Amino acid sequence: MAENSLKGVKLPEYNEPLLAGLAKAFNSAGVIQVATSTANAKGAIDDMAKHGVAPTVSNPAYLDILGQLYKADGSKAGDGSWMLKALNEAELDYQEYSPAAAWVNVGASQYHKYFSANLPVRPYRRLVLSFVTGWANVTGDVDLYLWVKSSGSVRSAFNAGGSDQQSNALFNFGIIDANVAPQVEWGIYGRGSSGGSARFTSEGAYNRFMTVALPISM
C-alpha cells in the first residue's frame, strides 16, 4: 500500500521499480518550477497533463513567474487555458453604488446603513482595509460612517447646506479572525442634538465602496 512522507510526498513501494517510484515521488512533491512568462508557465502545465500528472486541488503545481508565486490546481480560465492563482492573493470587493434618490433622516445618535461588503468566511486571519466615498445633499448634522467589526466605526462630518451637494470620504481597517464572517458597512449617522437628513446622488461615478482583505500571520 502506497504511503506518504511526513511532508506529503508519495513514497515508492517496496516492490516497485526504483525509477518509476522516484518519478511518482517527484511528481507528488510541491516543487516550485521557474517560468519566464505566463505562456511559459501554462506550457509547463500542458506538459504535465500530457504525461498524466496534471495538477489537481489535492496535488497542485507551483510556479515562479519572474519572482511572483502562482498555483495551478487544474481549474481553467475563461479562454480554456490553465488558471494561475496568485499565492496569498488579496481579496477585493468593489462597488459603485447608486442609492435611491430620496432623503433619509437620522435622529441624534442614530445610524442608517446603506451598503455592506461581500467577503466570504476564510479559515485564516485577515487584515481588512475599507474605503468609501459619497456625494450628497445634507441638512442638519450628519456624518458619513464606515464600520469594520473588531475595530468600530470612523465618521466624517458633512457640512450642512441642503441645496449644495458635497463629497465625503472615509478609510477604516480591522482584523478579521479565522472562520469569522467579515462585517464591513457604511452609512450615515445623526450627530448633535437632533441629527439631520441626507440624499445621495444616484450617479455611481460619485459613490465608491471598496474593501480589501489580506491574509496575516496566525
* Confidence category of residue 16, pLDDT binned at 50, 70, 90: confident
CATH 2.60.120.1340 domain residues, the chain = 91-215
pLDDT digits (tens, 9 = 90+) for 93-122: 998 877 777 899 999 999 999 999 999 999
Spell out the residues 6+ positions from residue 52 whose beta carbon is closer than 8 angstroms to its own: none
E strands, 84-178, are: 85-86, 91-96, 104-106, 111-116, 126-140, 142-148, 152-157, 166-176
Residue 28 pLDDT: 63
Is residue 27 predicted with pLDDT exceeding 70?
no
Q: Find the Cα–Cα–Cα–Cα dihedral 23, 28, 31, 37, rounded to 10°.
A: 90
| E strand or H helix that includes residue 69 | strand 68-72
Q: Is 87 in contact with 69 (CB distance < 8 Å)?
A: yes
The residues with which 150 forms a beta bridge, in sequence order, are: none
Mean pLDDT lowest among 24-38, 71-85, 115-129, 147-161:
24-38
75 grid coordinates:
481549474
Question: Which residues, listed in sequence order, are joined to residue 106 by a DSSP beta bridge?
Answer: 196
For residue range 116-171, what is the model confidence (pLDDT) as tens digits? 999 999 999 999 999 999 999 898 999 999 999 988 999 998 876 655 668 899 99
SS3 39: helix
d(CA 49, CA 109): 61
Is the predicted pLDDT of residue 39 greater than 60, yes or no? yes
Adjacent-strand bridge partners of 85: 71
d(C-alpha 184, C-alpha 134), whole Å? 16
**pTM higher than 0.85 for the full model?**
no
Instruction: Report how far residue 108's alpha carbon sits from residue 117's, in angstroms, rounded to the nearest whole number.
Output: 26
The strand pairing partners of 185, in sequence order, are 116, 147
- CATH number of this structure's domain 91-215, picked from the four choices 2.30.33.40, 2.60.120.1340, 2.60.120.560, 2.60.40.10: 2.60.120.1340
